[in-house]
Amino acid sequence: MSINYKEETKIFTLETRQATYQMQIGKFGHLFHVYYGNKIGKAEVDYLVRGADAGFSGNCYEAYLEDERTYSLDEFKQEYPTFGSADFRSSCLAVEYQNGSQTTELRYKTHRIYKGKYALQGLPAMWGSEEEWETLEITLLDAHYPVEVTLLYGVLPEYDIITRAVKITNHMNDKIILNRALSTCVDLQDHAYDLLSFYGKHNMERSLMRRPICHGKQAVDSVRGTSSHQQNPFAILCDHTATEDCGNCYGFSFVYSGNFLAEVEVDQYEQTRMVMGIHPTGFRYTVESGDTFTAPEVVCAYSRDGLGTLSRNYHKAFRNHLVKSQFAKKRRPILINNWEATTFDFNEDKLLAIAKEAKELGVEMLVMDDGWFGKRNNDMSGLGDWFVNTKKLPQGVKGIAEKVNQLDMEFGIWVEPEMVNEDSDLYRTHPDWCFQIPTRKGVYSRAQLVLDMGRQEVRDYLFTAIGAVLDSANIAYVKWDMNRHLTDVWSGNLPAERQGEVYHRYVLGLYELVDRFVTKYPQILFEGCSGGGGRFDAGWLYYMPQSWCSDDTDAIERIHIQHGTSFGYPVSAMGSHVSVAPNQQTGRFTPLHTRGVVAMAGTFGYELDITHMTNEEKELVKEQIKEFKYHYDTIQYGDYYRLTNPEENNRYAAWQFVSEDKKKSLLSVVILHATANAAFLTIKAKGLQAERVYHIAELDITTTGAALMYAGIPIPREKGDYIAFNFTIEEMV
Cβ count near 720 (within 10 Å): 9
Residue 74 has pLDDT above 90, yes or no: yes
Cα–Cα–Cα angle for 181, 460, 126, rounded to 5 degrees: 40
DSSP 248: -
* 203 & 309 share domain: yes
81-133 pLDDT, tens digit per residue, is 999 998 999 999 999 999 999 999 999 999 999 999 999 999 999 999 999 99
Cα–Cα–Cα angle for 569, 574, 576, rounded to 5 degrees: 155
Q: Which amino acid is at 266?
A: V
Residues in the chain: 733
Residue 721 has pLDDT above 90, yes or no: no
Mean pLDDT for 403-408 is: 98
Three-state SS letters, 322-336: CCCCHHHCCCCCCEE
- pLDDT of 277: 98
Active-site residue, from 15, 74, 87, 537: 537
Q: How far apart are CA 587 and CA 329, in angstroms?
A: 36
Residue 542 falls inside a structural domain: yes
Count Cα atoms within 13 angstroms, Cβ side, for 83.
Answer: 15
Confidence band, pLDDT 50/70/90 cuts, at residue 65: confident
238-277 pLDDT, tens digit per residue, is 999 999 999 999 999 999 999 999 999 999 999 999 999 9
Mean pLDDT for 435-463 is: 95
Distances in whole angstroms, Cα of residue 53 to Cα of each of 58, 61, 68, 73: 9, 15, 8, 12
Q: How far apart are CA 113 and CA 134, in angstroms?
A: 7
Q: How far apart are CA 491 and CA 343, in angstroms?
A: 33
Q: How far apart are CA 111 and CA 44, in angstroms?
A: 19
Confidence band, pLDDT 50/70/90 cuts, at residue 63: confident
The total number of structural domains that make up the chain = 3
Question: Is the overall model pTM greater than 0.75, yes or no?
Answer: yes
537 is catalytic: yes
Residue 435 falls inside a structural domain: no
Q: How far apart are CA 235 and CA 143, in angstroms?
A: 33
* 265 & 117 share domain: yes
Cβ count near 663 (within 10 Å): 17
- pLDDT of 381: 97
Mean pLDDT for 473-496 is: 97
* 40 & 106 share domain: yes
- pLDDT of 258: 98
Residue 421 falls inside a structural domain: no
- pLDDT of 1: 81
Which of these three, 596, 630, 664, is where a domain ends? 630
* 84 & 159 share domain: yes
282-316 pLDDT, tens digit per residue, is 999 999 999 999 999 999 999 999 999 999 999 99
* 330 & 472 share domain: yes
Task: Return the C-alpha torsion angle 92, 97, 101, 103, nearest 10.
Answer: -30
* 136 & 115 share domain: yes
Which of these three, 630, 650, 680, is where a domain ends? 630
* 342 & 197 share domain: no
- pLDDT of 707: 98
* 305 & 383 share domain: no
Pairing of strands 546-548, 525-528: parallel
Mean pLDDT for 647-671 is: 96
- pLDDT of 143: 87
Helix residue ranges, H only, 421-537: 425-429, 456-472, 502-520
> Among candidates 287, 221, 291, which has minimal Cα distance to 254?
221
* 200 & 340 share domain: no
Task: List the domain range (segments joined by +) for residue 165.
Answer: 3-21+29-49+59-321
Continuous segment of H or E residues that includes residue 690: none
DSSP 465: H
Mean pLDDT for 540-562 is: 98
Q: How far apart are CA 621 and CA 410, in angstroms?
A: 19
- pLDDT of 407: 98
> Among candidates 527, 528, 580, which has minimal Cα distance to 555?
580
Q: How far apart are CA 540 and CA 569, in angstroms?
A: 12
Distances in whole angstroms, Cα of residue 272 to Cα of each of 50, 58, 190, 233, 468: 15, 20, 6, 19, 52
Q: How far apart are CA 71 and CA 27, in angstroms?
A: 9
Active-site residue, from 46, 68, 609, 617: 617
Confidence band, pLDDT 50/70/90 cuts, at residue 423: very high
- pLDDT of 61: 85
Contact between residue 115 and residue 137 where contact means Cβ atoms under 8 Å apart: no
* 7 & 142 share domain: yes
* 285 & 350 share domain: no
Residue 599 falls inside a structural domain: yes
Residue 437 falls inside a structural domain: no
Which of these three, 321, 343, 369, is where a domain ends? 321
Helix residue ranges, H only, 524-663: 538-543, 555-565, 592-599, 615-630, 632-637
Residue 364 falls inside a structural domain: yes
* 578 & 661 share domain: no
| CATH for 697 | 2.60.40.1180
Residue 503 falls inside a structural domain: no
Mean pLDDT for 161-181 is: 98
Residue 431 falls inside a structural domain: no
| CATH for 578 | 3.20.20.70
Average pLDDT, the chain: 97
